A and B are shown apart, each in its own frame.
Chain A
Amino acid sequence: MGTIDNAAGVLAAEGGEGGFWQDAYPVIPHPGELIVGIISFAVLYFVYKRFVVPRLEAMLAERQRTIEGGIERAEAMQAEAKAALEQYRAQLAEARNEAAQIRDAARAEGQQIIEELRAQAQEESARIVARGEEQIAAARQQVVNELRGQIGTLAVDLAGRVVGESLADDARRQGTVDRFLDQLDGMSATDGRGGAVTVPGGNR
């Protein structure tokens, strides 16, 4: 504080030496400085108002637009992506559905084919079996018929050789032959083997 008082004292003491502006109170504005200040300020203000600030404002406005445009674009793209995703999901579900249907149909068809084949095979086998039986029966009948004829002749022949002429005119002996044949018939009917109808004197 002392120095400031001292400064004031010095200021007062030197009053006479310099010009008015050197010793003037510092709160008295120097006209030249005031004018230069106003002009500098005005010129700089003009430059800012005319060029600097409009450029900055234009840039800020453009940035704002860019940001807003970017947000809008992003939103649009998001919506589009969402729609595409929905579509893909729907398509996928549809495809899955379709695949399941195809699978079911194929399975059903396969089942049906198997059933058909099985039925066909059964029928076939039944048919084959039936034909075999038929053939067997036919062959047996044939053999029986053949044998019946041959055995009759053979038996008569054999009996004739054994007993001689007496056999031909004796009616009683005719009855014996018939009874024998009937017995043979009965035998072949019971055991069913055509081959078993052996003649007692078969091994000649």
Chain B
Amino acid sequence: MTTEVSAAEEFVPPSAPDFWQPLVGDGAFALTRTMVVMVLVSIGLAVAMMAMTRRLSVVPGRGQFRLEGVYGLVRNSIGRDIIGSAHFKPYIPLLFTLFTLILVNNLMGIIPPVQFPTMSRIGFPLALALGVYLVYLVAGVRRRGLGGFLKNLVPSGLPLFVVPVVFLLELVTFLITRPVTLTLRLFGNMFAGHILLLLFALGGEYFLLHGEGLLRVISIPAFAMFMLFTAFEILIAFLQAYVFILLASIYIAEVYADDH
């Protein structure tokens, strides 16, 4: 990232190409930095979770207490309260996977030495959104049958001439809008957050190294903003993970809602 800046006298602001970081090869199947992070985070989570759940006791220790805090948030505050206590159990693994995977990957955006959010590459949020998409569509069709599922898209009691319009809108919402917004929301937040961090870091660096006289002082507020936004990113990391599973739960809950 910094090579361009130190080479050129003119300031080059961070942009989309900064997010393309192939490690091995090039092209559609190049091994990129985010792939490595994603795989390492997944393995790390799997290993850590297996280790933490090896010896669970009825009276929790400190580590288990924290794990239970996160698990309880996903299981009770989101899964049970939104999907409903009758149906939420089968979806706990999905929600818990999504939450931990997104949260840790997002935190990778500020944790050295990675400091690059995996979810700022749209392929990863898309993969997660596709998982949710698949689950709520399959659950909906399985519960009502294909006909019932489609019929259920339109609320009953509408005037006949409105029905086709509403049906189309709802179908588009179900099939396109939801997975796309789910993907874009997570991607956009992490992408924009990283751009901001890059901008403050690179800007501060530019003023410090290439600034004339008093301009160098401007690097101080720039770095201060960098730190502030780094702290802010922690909040965003958590919030986006939370929002993602919140929406996933709402989409799943609709399968079990008998009325609109």
Q: Which of B13, B15, B35, B57 contacts A33 (CB 8 A)?
A: B35
Contact between A34 and B96, CB atoms less than 8 A apart: no
- Nearest residue (CB) in B for A17 is B17
State in angstroms the CA–CA spacing of A49 and B97 once bound together: 9
B7: CB under 8 A from chain A? no
B168 beta carbon closer than 8 Å to chain A: no
Which residues of chain B (15-48) have a CB below 8 Å from chain A? 15-17, 19-20, 22, 26-32, 34-35, 38-39, 41-42, 45-46
Q: Is A200 an interface residue (CB 8 A)?
A: no
A24 to B120, CA, bound (A): 14
B121 (CB) vs chain A CBs: closest residue:
A33
Interface centre among A10, A22, A26, A40 (most CB of B within 10 A): A40
**Chain A nearest CB: distance from B204 CB in Å?**
14
Say yes or no: B127 contacts A37, CB within 8 Å.
Answer: yes
Q: How far is the CA of A22 from the CA of B121 in the complex (A)?
A: 12
Interface of A is mostly: helix
Residues of A within 8 A of B199 (CB): 3
Q: Which residues on A sit within 8 Å (CB–CB) of B148?
A: none
Determine, out of A58-66, A73-81, A103-111, the stretch whose residues face the partner at the interface. Answer: A58-66
- How far, in Å, is B138 (CB) from chain A's closest CB? 14
Number of contacting residues on B, CB 8 A? Answer: 55
Alpha-carbon distance between A47 and B67 when the two chains are bound, in angstroms: 16
Q: Is the CB of A48 within 8 A of B121?
A: no
> A162 an interface residue at 8 Å Cβ cutoff?
no
Is B17 within 8 A of A32, CB to CB? no
> When the two chains form their complex, are residues A30 and B32 in contact, meaning their CB atoms are under 8 A apart?
yes
Q: Which of B32, B50, B93, B101 contacts A32 (CB 8 A)?
A: B32
A7 contacts B126, C-beta separation under 8 Å = no
Q: Is the CB of B20 within 8 A of A21?
A: yes
- With A34-B126, A45-B94 known as contacts, the answer to whether A23 contacts B58 (CB < 8 A) is no
Please determine whether A29 and B122 come into contact, CB atoms closer than 8 angstroms.
yes
Q: Kindly state the separation between the CA atoms of A14 and B34 in the bound complex, as whole angstroms.
A: 23
A37 vs B118: C-alpha distance when bound (angstroms): 10
Taking a contact as CB atoms under 8 Å apart, the answer to whether B45 and A22 are in contact is no
A6 within 8 A of B: yes
**Alpha-carbon distance between A51 and B190 when the two chains are bound, in angstroms:** 30
Judge whether B123 and A48 touch: CB under 8 Å.
no
- In angstroms, Cα B188 to Cα A26, docked, is 10
CB contact list, B129-182 vs A, under 8 A: 130-131
Chain A residues positioned under 8 Å from B228 (CB to CB): none
The distance from the CB of A85 to the nearest CB of chain B, in whole angstroms, is: 32
Q: What class of interface size applies to chain A in its complex with B?
A: 35 or more
Give, as a whole number of angstroms, the nearest-CB distance from A125 to chain B. 88
B78 contacts partner chain A, Cβ-Cβ < 8 Å = no
Q: Which one of B67, B94, B124 has the greatest number of beta carbons of chain A within 10 Å?
A: B124
Given A26-B191, A41-B127, also A52-B49 (CB < 8 A)? yes
| Most chain A CB within a 10 A radius of its CB, from B28, B54, B89, B191 | B28
Task: Name the residue on A nearest B180 (C-beta).
Answer: A27
How far, in whole Å, are A20 and B50 apart by their CA atoms in the complex?
Answer: 40
- Contact (Cβ within 8 A) B27 A21: yes
Within 8 Å by CB of A44, from B19, B67, B101, lies B101
A53 at the interface (CB under 8 A from B): yes
Q: Are A40 and B58 in contact (CB under 8 A)?
A: no
How far apart sit A47 and B131, CA to CA, in the bound complex (Å)? 15
B116 at the binding interface (Cβ < 8 Å): no
* Residue among A27, A37, A63 facing the most chain B CB atoms (10 A cut-off): A37
Interface residue A195 (Cβ < 8 Å from any Cβ of B): no
Contact of B97 among A26, A34, A45 (CB under 8 A): A45
Given the interface contacts A26-B16, A37-B124, does A62 sit within 8 Å of B58 by beta carbon? Answer: yes
B5: min CB distance to chain A, Å: 12
CB distance from A36 to the nearest CB of B (A): 4
Give me the 4 closest cross-chain CB pairs, A-B, nearest first: A37-B127, A33-B123, A34-B123, A49-B93
Besides A29-B121, A40-B38, A53-B96, 8 other A-B contacts (C-beta < 8 A) = A7-B15, A21-B26, A26-B187, A29-B122, A38-B127, A40-B39, A40-B41, A41-B131
Residues on A facing B (Cβ under 8 Å) = 3-4, 6-8, 10-11, 14, 18-38, 40-45, 47-49, 51-53, 55-59, 62-63, 66
